[in-house]
Amino acid sequence: MNRHSLRLPFSPRHLVLLPLSLVMLLPLAWMLITSIETLSETRHFPPHLIPAGIHWRNYPDALDAAPFGRFFLNSTIVTLASVAGNLLFCSLAGYAFARLRFFGRDVLFVALLATLMVPFQVTMIPTFLIVHDLGLVNSLGALILPNLVTPFGIFLLRQFFRTLPIELEEAARIDGCSRLGVLFRVVLPLSMPALATLGIVTFLWTWNDFLWPLIVMSSTNEYTVQLGLASFQGAHDTKWPLLMAGNMMALAPMLIVFVVAQRWIVQSLAATGVKG
Amino acid sequence: MIARLLRSEHVAGWLFVLPAVVLIGLFGIVPIGWSLLLSFQHNDLLTPPTWAGLDNYRLLNNDPVFRDSVRRTLVYTMLFVPISVAGSLAVAMLLHARIRFARFYRTAVFVPVATSTVATGIIFNWLLEPTYGVANYLLGEVGLGPYGFFQDPDQALYSIVAMTVWGWLGFDVIIFMAALQGIPNDLMEAAKLDGSGRWATFRRITLPLLSPATLFLIVWSTINALQVFDEIYVTTRGGPLQATTVLVYELFNQAFVFFHAGYAAAIAYVLFLATLVLSLVQLWIGRRSVYYTS
Amino acid sequence: MAGVLFDNLTKRFPGGAVAVDALTLEIADGELMVLVGPSGCGKSTALRMVAGLDDPSEGRILIGDRDVAGVSPAARDVAMVFQSYALYPHMTVRKNLAFPLQRRHLPRQQVKSRVAEVSEMLGLTELLDRRPAQLSGGQRQRVAMGRALSREPIVFLLDEPLSNLDAKLRAELRAELKQLHARVGTTMIYVTHDQVEAMTLGERIAVLDHGRLQQVGTPEQVYGRPCNLFVARFVGSPAMNVLPGPALGRPAGVVVGVRSESLKPRSELPGGLPLELVAEVVEPLGSDVYVHGQAAGTTVVARLAGSAQVSPGERLELAVAESDLHLFDEHSGARTS
């Protein structure tokens, strides 16, 4: 069973992986190249694969054309608040479901989990009405409040907490720790991997959220990065270099975070899949 | 007595879950019920609503616009799910080896996941621009095209498929790679000694052991495909000529452009039920063919 | 059935580690050979090279009379039992046993009857429809053996198959393995770090250290005439006592090995070389008494009759027969007599 078939000096996997990688990277590379070209260059067919020069002006022009700084600020506030809220409230609830015995616990848990089954599109209209009644339309609160805690996070942390040895918590209680104290002093420090996963997934999801901000925000000043980017496209439809520069600026932070923290992010995303 | 009650586990438990219960109750559970109520109303979000009974649902049943959006959604889903799941499995198998540049390949495959749906749409708008876009240029170099992509009613939906597969493949690959790493190397060696060739090992050992991950990705991808919206909003806006008006896009239009909130809620509930049924069917099929080994 | 020849086999790993160093060893057709040595001595690596899971850096391996360089594992017709058993978790016992036969495209009837035969031989018939997760350690071990057996290979390779089991089960399965070998007669290469296992199982044992063959021979030969200090101390429990030459009338530069059972009370051995032992710890085991203490400046263990009465701190007058001495060069460790 050992025929000497075509022997390449390298693994045949490269023959597929290399073109595939180029295809995956091409759109991003092309965005970068376009962002440093002039408008007339882009209105040229066939396109220049290598730009004539580096036209940096597109970037400050994009910043002038739309308040990207403001967009970033809004997104940052909303994302940090969501991450903090989730870490706190999902820990509290997850711990209660994992370790405390209280009336109606299991029914409540199933009910919360069941809401995961319902797509956002079902709840978005009434949620809009509720936010409207609370007077929060077009404010960052509208983006933060509905996403301060998710059943997914509660489930994730509950499952994780249950894998910790309960003796540690019992010992802490005997040593005089309150239940809250046990959670914050004993359980959470041991739960860093799960908290990191929840934090990263919440971060990614909140930063990239589009539909809900689209529904609930109406003035440019309150736009998140995603919303700002979409409206920017609407305003400067065919000014490709400008658009690509804006896109680059909006994407760059996320791309950098991704490449730097790749291992963490991959682990977190993988963990969500394994837990189903 | 009160003090003892306050210190009881019941009270503690409820205090711990209170923030979550209030928030999820207000923004999750109440809207679910309210949405159902809305679907039985004529509601334009401005004037007081009137009772509609089952009118919205009856309308749905006869509305060709709705039916078309369902058809398009199904076409999209039936292309997106097999392509991304099978494709990502193949990529994960290729990456699951000690080869040079493995880290580069992995990063290249993962990076598109970092791009938001909006950014992806903007990039592809430019990439697939029929006159000046580089896609038509490169295809022309190998004798293909030029194509209309997003501007051609017959190609728009397929272009959306390609774009979203690009954006999500990396996530599936991550899941599959994690699952592959969970298969002990011993098993592969034992299979080698047992005379199992590459294909037989893949079919009879790797694939069954990957089945939990595969099922998860099929269900997950299906749910996401049925709800696709962002990328379409940023690129084709449901066009050209409604060619990419999928279900959620229609829903969005009905609710926030035409202000037929009741009708939109009915659409949403139909989506919900369809997603639920489809997921249950997939999970039920999975029960018979998925091997859980722990 | 075939013998196995290691011919000057060397395996170097990237990074410089030499796992197997110029190993030359001949295993006869139908023999049960045990490769034994401490962790990292290269025994598992050698085994994997016979299986074809790793390739040698130098030297060759012959199975039967055939140089198997470049031959795939499947084509070598060898079977292996892994330390972790490597049972396919998603398949029933029946399917696990049938898998290698199906890979060889044997007709269905033959597969069925062979599976029945093997499961009967190993007492697995009631377990055929269970999954590995539902089996105990010993049962999984038997399934792993069964899967290897079902193929009727020309060589059996076993990589520490019993090390994950408790002591009692290990002893049981050891005996079963020996019986199995007697019944089936196939060449077996067994790898273990446990010298007791090696001594009880092997028809011959090969002692390895740091990738090099130290000694090969029957258990009696290896125990009775260890060819160097390493083998002398590795084989036998408790380990051989090693005393400086002058303590027993030998020149400096020579160390003397004395087995614990060779130390007897002076009264019983009037012509023997005298040795005084100051007892520290006394372990009565019923049949024997192990006395740990100091003699000639080192820690020594003596095995005395079960009836001996010894208390800690006691000075024992012991002696050892000249013929029971093993002499080694102090520096090279090689046997001088």
pLDDT digits (tens, 9 = 90+) for B211-269: 989 999 999 999 999 999 999 999 999 889 999 999 999 999 999 999 999 999 999 99
Identify whether the C-beta of residue C217 lies closer than 8 Å to the C-beta of residue C31.
no
The pTM score is 0.85
B25 touches chain C (CB under 8 A): no
Mutation site, B193, B202, B289, interface C, largest C CB count within 10 A: B193
A255 touches chain B (CB under 8 A): yes
Identify whether the C-beta of residue B282 lies closer than 8 Å to the C-beta of residue B215.
yes
What local confidence, expressed as pLDDT, does residue A1 receive? 41
Q: Please name the chains neighbouring A, where neighbouring means 3+ C-beta pairs under 8 angstroms.
A: B, C
Q: Residue with structure tokens 């903090």?
A: A84
Name residues of chain A where pLDDT drops below 70: 1-6, 273-276
The answer to whether A251 contacts B115, with C-beta atoms less than 8 Å apart, is: yes
Please list every residue in chain B whose beta carbon sits closer than 8 Å to the beta carbon of residue A244: 122-123, 126
The answer to whether B174 contacts A258, with C-beta atoms less than 8 Å apart, is: no
Q: How far is A151 from chain B (nearest CA, A)?
A: 8
Please list every residue in chain A whose beta carbon sits closer than 8 Å to the beta carbon of residue C71: 2
Q: In chain B, which residue's Cα lies nearest the Cα of C81? A: B190
B134 touches chain A (CB under 8 A): yes
Strand partners, C295: C298
Mutation site, B70, B126, B269, interface A, largest A CB count within 10 A: B126
Q: In chain A, which residue's Cα lies nearest the Cα of C71? A: A2
Distance between CA C160 and CA C81 in Å, rounded?
8
The answer to whether A255 contacts B174, with C-beta atoms less than 8 Å apart, is: no
Q: In chain A, which residue's Cα lies nearest the Cα of B255? A: A125
The answer to whether A17 contacts B105, with C-beta atoms less than 8 Å apart, is: yes
The answer to whether C89 contacts B190, with C-beta atoms less than 8 Å apart, is: no
The answer to whether A89 contacts B213, with C-beta atoms less than 8 Å apart, is: no
Q: Residue with structure tokens 């997934």?
A: A201
Please list every residue in chain C whose beta carbon sits closer than 8 Å to the beta carbon of residue A1: 72, 74-75
Using pLDDT thresholds of 50, 70 and 90, give the confidence band for residue B120: very high
DSSP-based three-state secondary structure for B42: strand
DSSP C187-227: EEEEEES-HHHHHHH-SEEEEEETTEEEEEE-HHHHHHS-S
Q: In chain C, which residue's Cα lies nearest the Cα of B208? A: C90
**Taking residues C172-194, what's their average pLDDT?**
92
Distance between CA C149 and CA C151 in Å, rounded?
5
Mutation site, A2, A4, A5, A7, interface C, largest C CB count within 10 A: A2
Cα–Cα nearest to B22, from A93, A91, A84 = A93
| Mean pLDDT score of chain C | 92
* Phi, psi (degrees; rounded to nearest 5) at B37: -60, -45
What's the pLDDT tens digit per position in A131-153? 999 999 999 999 999 999 999 99
B91 touches chain A (CB under 8 A): yes
Please list every residue in chain B whose beta carbon sits closer than 8 Å to the beta carbon of residue C100: 193-195
User: Measured between CB atoms, which of B195, B204, B293 is closest to C74?
Assistant: B195
Count Cα neighbours of C283 within 13 Å in the Cβ-side half-sphere: 9
Using pLDDT thresholds of 50, 70 and 90, give the confidence band for residue B2: low
C109 has a pLDDT exceeding 80: yes
Please list every residue in chain A whose beta carbon sits closer than 8 Å to the beta carbon of residue B260: none
**Count of CB atoms situated within 10 Å of the CB of C29:** 14
Total CB pairs under 8 A between chain B and C: 63
The answer to whether C53 contacts B192, with C-beta atoms less than 8 Å apart, is: yes
The answer to whether B193 contacts C103, with C-beta atoms less than 8 Å apart, is: no
Distance between CA B189 and CA A247 in Å, rounded?
48
The answer to whether C90 contacts B208, with C-beta atoms less than 8 Å apart, is: yes
**Taking residues B188-194, what's their average pLDDT?**
93
Strand stretches in B85-167, DSSP E: none
The answer to whether B196 contacts C74, with C-beta atoms less than 8 Å apart, is: yes
Cα–Cα nearest to B124, from B252, B250, B223, B244 = B244
Please list every residue in chain A whose beta carbon sits closer than 8 Å to the beta carbon of residue B9: 100-102
What local confidence, expressed as pLDDT, does residue A262 receive? 79
Identify whether the C-beta of residue B248 lies closer than 8 Å to the C-beta of residue B177.
no
Please list every residue in chain B whose beta carbon sits closer than 8 Å to the beta carbon of residue C104: 195
Distance between CA A126 and CA B36 in Å, rounded?
10
Q: Which residues contact residue B63 at a Cβ distance below 8 angstroms, ignoring those fewer than 6 apart? A: none
The answer to whether C53 contacts B291, with C-beta atoms less than 8 Å apart, is: no
What's the pLDDT tens digit per position in A115-132? 988 999 999 999 999 999
| Mean pLDDT score of chain B | 91
Structure tokens at B192: 């080698």
Output DSSP code: residue A52: S
What whole-number percentage of chain C has pLDDT above 70?
A: 100
Strand stretches in chain A, DSSP E: none
What local confidence, expressed as pLDDT, does residue B264 receive? 93
* Phi, psi (degrees; rounded to nearest 5) at B260: -95, 70
H-helix or E-strand spanning residue A126: helix A120-133
DSSP C305-320: ETT----TTPEEEEEE
